Amino acid sequence: MTDGCRPCVVIWTIFLLSSVMGYKPVIIVHGILDGPRQFEILAKFINQSHPGTSVTTLALYDYIGSMKPLWQQVDGFREAIRPIMESTDDGVHLICFSQGGLICRGVLATLPTHNAHSLILLSSPLAGQYGDSSYLKHFFPKFIKSRLYHFCYTTCGQRISICNYWNDPHQRERYLKSSIYLAPLNGEIEHANSTAWRDSFLRIQTLVLIGGQDDGVITPWESRSLQRFISSRDIEHQKFWYLRDAFGLKTLNSEGAVVKCVVPGVHHTSWHSNHTVYKNCIDKWLT
């Protein structure tokens, strides 16, 4: 084969692999203070192992815009995700990082016709955030975690994204009364959309929960795995929400649809650029 023909062969091979394998489109949703640029390495990993895959990193609420209230962000991301889903009959994969995991859950809960096949959540505070971190000090330099509820559990505080999932275990009543996002999303409070959101969440085929004890930002780090709902060692009211199957987690878990991937030694900002994480926790679910 001449050197001039080799590029053509490579292009046709990639095209044929994409056609034969039928890789589903991948949609990436960034986290707080992030944007598409931070996910270029992840997109490269995907295209190397699954040639021809359509990878879209949504450029919405980037960087400082990511501090907007989560329901506002959900509305915007839902309208960006909907046409991508409608363009394929085979479904899509969602990879959502950090705060983006909560946004993806909100999108799927409020999009009853979604066709998300795999929901892959990279170190997301799914059971809420409660702990000191560099992010917290950046947003609230004058507060310590034990006092942040004074601001977060107010109408003004709930206009900032991180307060939408601030879950202070010592201020349970205030959290339930004030939380306009995490508490209803997790079914911790009754609301008119509880059943519809649960049914919509259950449309996903696989829920992949990725994180590790060296994350350094998500605190407690087990929040990424919704361990507060699954663990039999946790406090009674949280076990009750899981047993009540408030948003479908128990059903998915009982069906073997929940996959947990724990990787030590990975800092929060490195999850989407770590090749070991990609190979061991993400790659196999993108078919």
Between CA 208 and CA 138 the distance in angstroms is: 29
Q: Which residue in 215, 223, 225, 272 is the catalytic one?
A: 215
CA distances for 62 relative to 34, 67, 94, 106, 152, angstroms: 6, 9, 18, 18, 22
DSSP, collapsed to helix, strand or coil, labels residue 261 as: strand
Kindly provide the residue ranges of all beta strands, DSSP E only, lying in 179-269, ordered along the sequence.
206-211, 258-262
Element (H, E) at 15: helix 6-21
DSSP string, 62-95: -GGGGGS-HHHHHHHHHHHHHHHHHT-SS-EEEE
Catalytic choice (66, 98, 123, 225): 98
For the chain, the C-alpha Rg in angstroms (whole number) is: 19
Q: Respond yes or no: is residue 214 known to be catalytic.
A: no
Please give the structure tokens belonging to residue 43.
């997109």
Rounded Cα gap, residues 123 and 247, in angstroms:
20
Q: Are 149 and 168 in contact (CB under 8 A)?
A: yes
Q: CA–CA separation, 217 vs 195, rounded Å?
A: 32
Question: In the annotation, is 215 catalytic?
Answer: yes
Quick check: is 191 catalytic?
Answer: no
Cα torsion 73, 244, 148, 174: sign:
positive
Question: What positions carry a catalytic annotation?
Answer: 98, 215, 268
